Structure 1
Amino acid sequence: MRIATALLAGLLSLGVQAAPADFVSLDRNLWPEQLDSPALFDVASRAEILSFARVLHESEMLDEQALATRLGLRQVNLPVVRAVRARLWQRLWTSYQQAQRSCGQDASFCYPVASMADLRMQAATFATDVGTFYTGWVEPSHQFHSRYLDEQLRKAAVFPQTSSEVDKLSSRERNGEELNDRMFLLTFVGGPGPEGSSTDALTDYLRRQKLEGIFFVLGNRFKQRRDAGPVASLYAGQCVGIQGWEYRSHAQWQGWQDSLRRSQAQVQADLPEQYVPLFRPPYGQRRSDGESFMASQQLRVSLWDIDAQDDGPLSAEASAQRVMTLMLLWRKGVIQFRDSLPKAQPALEWLLQHTAQSGIGWEDCQAYGLRE
């Protein structure tokens, strides 16, 4: 066991992250070990779970006004915030239990945690006993998780008036929590791009790697691509869901039903083998009263819980490092990349290279897409 007693210089105040940036990653080079075995994946996983649990615990000390100020909002939907916090705690507890299974091989970050109360107590104090081997990781991880938590709480604070991927609106929706431990699903949105674009390079790369994912296509872009030539070969070996006819919120759009009908009919007609009955709402925004229509179309909402944020200032490597950190934190989930943008493929290449020996698995897209 490499844990040695060391004290941190101090804790960041709760107000330091009051206005978090929209895009945040964590440099994985600050973690002193490669994830080249399942046991070392678990070590890093336990560390990230405890780091996030620490900031989640800290956030509970804020009253309603202080929380609103921290999130940059005038008011917050406190019941939803509390419900999301409770769900996050449950996921952390489940994840930590899974990650403890390898403690016999490597006891780093293995603490006597036998209940949710134990996890909360350990989260509040663990940073004072991390050890010199991990000192360079502790504070950057704390800052990342503070900002990442603010992303989640800001969405919770305005939910369901503004819906997002932070929570489900019905039990028929999927968000990755239904996967098994260490299993991840690759998904891609915003495409397809024109012929010869990053979509082509990415699908070809996935086939060469013998990997598959779900491509949620926009109906208008799909039609443009189909009008220019066949699309079956583009998505060979992959799965295709829909994202609506245009990339716009389907929560307030009066034509949202027609958007889904047109997109669904287009993809089903042109790609009957690759089509899966899933809808990825742009921005995660969908209608709370749309369940009956979705059921009539035999569609399910497919959300995500690991966003690569490859549509902003993060480099491809920083985007991949963000994904890896969240994979360690949640230990399963639906990863979202944007195939029409050039960062997705190099980010995925980095991710696959750095997790090749970690013992994770990639979910079969057809099995996920057709699951009842």
Structure 2
Amino acid sequence: MALGGCASYDVTAPADARANASTAEVRAKDARLAATGGGRSAPHGTAADEVDCRKAKCVALTFDAGPSEHTNRLLDILKREKVHATFFLLGKNHVDRRPAEVKRIAAEGHELANHTWSHQILTEIEPAAAERELSRVQEAVHRITGTTPTLMRPPQGRTDEKVSDISKKLGLAQVLWSVTAKDYQTNDSALITKRVLEQTERDGVILLHDIYPGTVPAVPGILKELKKRGYTVVTVSQLLSPAKPQPGMVYRP
């Protein structure tokens, strides 16, 4: 599929990823569901429980460019609400300055992902520089937590065949989004909430930032209304399951 300009690369929607899961992946997923009561024990979609997004009305919650001074408050909210999210971490001035928050994100069962080291636009820099932007975060997160991300989000969502090749080399699948509150433009928590709820549909990926003061206060209201509307809030990998994210692939609702 071609997306913008002349760039050509593979794009898959979450529902298609699930439908195209291998027989082995499906069997493994079904076995885990059977062992945990079919996912019925996880109405909010926690990382410790199996959620079946083939049947449940799922939406993935993601946060970019942290951690920041707001992240611990966000983690408190998510813990209280028994929800897990995917955190696309920024290296410079974030991961390197807040290793304790990175450790907590991992320890509390959230999904660690990569948002580059210094937020350079990957399509506009040389391949070696783009690879370093991603590999530095991989190395830093592994050093802090012992785990290595398998997902990445390119800054501004800008990717191409070069970026896909680099991502594949580093074992990273790319994740775009379908819902944006544009919380970088406003600190109005009510407006952020309104924008998210207006755009959210099944199998969506919500993009928020835990670096802006208006975003974290909006999260409780967003989660409350999503629950009321019958959504199960999950991580990106849970949304794609039983399929596993494929390195180099671009996932977009």
- TM-score normalised by structure 2 residue count: 0.70
Q: Match of 1:336, SS?
A: strand
Structure 2 residue corresponding to 1:334, chosen from 205, 210, 235: 205
Contact between 1:182 and 1:331, CA under 8 Å: does it hold in 2? yes
Q: 1:344/1:314 Cα in 2 relative to 1: closer, same or farther (>3 Å)? A: closer
1:346 has 2:220 as partner = no
CA–CA distance in 2 between the matches of 1:297 and 1:368? 22
Task: Give the deviation of 1:364 after TM superposition.
Answer: 4.1
Q: Deviations over 1:125-145 (max 9, x none)?
A: xxxxxxxxxxxxxxxxxxxxx
**1:1-372, aligned counterparts within 5 Å?**
159-160=4-5, 169-171=8-10, 173=11, 176=14, 178=16, 180=54, 182-193=57-68, 197-220=69-92, 221-226=94-99, 229=100, 231-235=102-106, 236-254=108-126, 255-273=129-147, 275-313=148-186, 315-327=188-200, 330-368=201-239, 371-372=244-245
Counterpart residue type for residue 319 of structure 1: I
Contact between 1:214 and 1:240, CA under 8 Å: does it hold in 2? yes
Task: Give the deviation of 1:368 after TM superposition.
Answer: 4.6
Q: Deviations over 1:59-110 (max 9, x none)?
A: xxxxxxxxxxxxxxxxxxxxx7xxxxxxxxxxxxxxxxxxxxxxxxxxxxxx
Moved over 4 A (4+): 173-181
Structure number with greater Rg is 1
Question: By percentage of residues, which structure has more strand?
Answer: 2
Task: Give the deviation of 1:212 after TM superposition.
Answer: 0.4
Task: Give the deviation of 1:175 after TM superposition.
Answer: 5.4
Counterpart residue type for residue 117 of structure 2: W
Contact between 1:202 and 1:345, CA under 8 Å: does it hold in 2? yes
Task: Give the deviation of 1:281 after TM superposition.
Answer: 0.6
CA–CA distance in 2 between the matches of 1:283 and 1:364? 20
CA–CA distance in 2 between the matches of 1:366 and 1:300? 10
Q: Match of 2:182, SS?
A: coil
CA–CA distance in 2 between the matches of 1:264 and 1:210? 27
Cα RMSD, aligned residues only: 2.5
**Structure 2: which 5+ runs fail to align?**
17-52, 246-253
Contact between 1:307 and 1:323, CA under 8 Å: does it hold in 2? yes
CA–CA distance in 2 between the matches of 1:322 and 1:284? 19
Contact between 1:218 and 1:242, CA under 8 Å: does it hold in 2? yes
Of 357-366 and 233-242, deviating more is 357-366
Task: Give the deviation of 1:365 after TM superposition.
Answer: 4.7
Task: Give the deviation of 1:202 after TM superposition.
Answer: 0.5
CA–CA distance in 2 between the matches of 1:249 and 1:268? 23
Contact between 1:190 and 1:216, CA under 8 Å: does it hold in 2? yes
Q: How many residues are matched? A: 201
CA–CA distance in 2 between the matches of 1:242 and 1:266? 10
Task: Give the deviation of 1:317 after TM superposition.
Answer: 1.2
Q: Deviations over 1:7-26 (max 9, x none)?
A: xxxxxxxxxxxxxxxxxxxx
Q: Match of 2:62, SS?
A: strand
Counterpart residue type for residue 323 of structure 1: V
CA–CA distance in 1 between the matches of 2:101 and 2:177? 29
Question: By percentage of residues, which structure has more helix?
Answer: 1
Query: Of the two structures, which has the highest relative contact order with CA contacts closer than 8 Å and spacing of 6 or more?
Result: 2
Task: Give the deviation of 1:233 after TM superposition.
Answer: 2.1
